[in-house]
């Protein structure tokens, strides 16, 4: 099975690069399943129902969220009728939506997608380790699910790495999101779980983590806000992680970074032929 995870879509430029590039990647790489983190897709803060549908139309099979899940208040309502939208599983009981869901891939396989949010330097939600373990025990790999993809939305690299080792051998992949800068530690862990500390953002990298530079620079220099953060709207780079799954075990065989666009050195998985 071939799975592509696309990192945090930031604003209109991020949506544009995903919508422009993803259909070709699905076709040329013969992708079976695509997960997109969409929590920054609406002006950098949250997601709307129209954008949710736009990403699905482009080829996303599941859309994960994070700490900006509810910045667009309509998300609290439309998430109940958006079965492919996954918010962090460790929100308190009674939070709208779902923290995990089982999907059917293009090849007929069953893929469990779990979204978890870290607690270091983040809102103190419930324990993500316990929440993820609970989901994996209810829907174990190769018994109920052919693949399990975990979006670990967290600030601290240590917390993401800990999740990777904690779940190694019980999930196909643990992929870090949130910090918007792709890391170079993509690999398959000893137990067979693919891991990357941060997949990076899909957005304009001539920016400060996706925001136009002037306002964040001013706040760092003067410690005073002079306006709102505005999304950088230049040409964007799509960032992601390609995962080749062993169909017999549901674990990862190979992983490779994906970077398509300006500002960053391009990267495409060498183990898949073709590109857009």
Question: What number is the average pLDDT over the span 192-209?
Answer: 97
Render pLDDT for 148-168 as a digit per residue (tens, 0 to 9). 999 999 999 999 999 999 999
pLDDT band at 274 (very low <50, low <70, confident <90, very high): low
- The set of catalytic residues is 68
Mean pLDDT of 201-220: 93
- Residue 213 pLDDT greater than 50, yes or no: yes
pTM of the model: 0.95
Q: Domain map of the chain by residue range? A: 2-260
- What pLDDT score was predicted for residue 225? 87
**With 80 as the cut, is the pLDDT of residue 275 above it?**
no
What is the pLDDT, as a whole number, of residue 250? 97
- Architecture of the domain made up of 2-260: 4-Layer Sandwich (3.60)
Burial group, residue 81, by CB count within 10 angstroms (0-12, 13-18, 19+): exposed
Question: Residue 10: its pLDDT value, please?
Answer: 97
Nearest partner of 238 among 271, 205, 208, 207, judged by Cα: 205
pLDDT in tens, 73-124: 999 999 999 999 999 999 999 999 999 999 999 999 999 999 999 999 998 8
């Amino acid at each position: 099975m071939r799975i592509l995870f696309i990192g945090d879509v930031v604003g209109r430029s991020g949506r544009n690069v995903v919508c422009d590039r993803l259909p070709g990647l699905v076709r040329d790489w013969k992708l079976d399943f695509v997960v997109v983190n969409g929590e920054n897709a609406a002006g950098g803060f949250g997601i709307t129902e129209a954008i949710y549908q736009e990403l699905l139309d482009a080829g996303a099979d599941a859309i994960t969220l994070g700490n900006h899940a509810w910045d667009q208040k309509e998300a609290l309502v439309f998430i109940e009728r958006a079965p492919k939208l996954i918010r962090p599983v460790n929100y308190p009981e009674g939070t709208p939506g779902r923290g995990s869901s089982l999907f059917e891939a293009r090849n007929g396989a069953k893929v469990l997608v779990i979204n978890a949010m870290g607690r270091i330097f983040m809102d103190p939600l419930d324990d993500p380790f316990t929440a993820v373990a609970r989901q994996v025990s209810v829907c174990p790999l190769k018994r109920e699910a052919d693949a399990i993809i975990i979006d670990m939305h967290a600030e601290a690299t240590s917390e993401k790495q800990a999740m990777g080792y904690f779940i190694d051998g019980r999930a196909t992949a643990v992929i870090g999101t949130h910090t918007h800068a792709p890391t170079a530690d993509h690999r398959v862990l000893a137990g067979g779980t693919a891991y990357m500390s941060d997949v990076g953002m899909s957005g304009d990298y001539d920016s400060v983590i996706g925001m136009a530079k002037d306002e964040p620079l001013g706040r760092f220099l003067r410690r005073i806000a002079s306006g709102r953060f505005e999304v950088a709207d230049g040409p964007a780079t799509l960032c992601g992680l390609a995962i080749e799954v062993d169909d017999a075990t549901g674990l990862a065989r190979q992983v490779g970074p994906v970077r398509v666009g300006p500002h960053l050195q391009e990267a495409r998985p060498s183990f898949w032929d073709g590109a857009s």
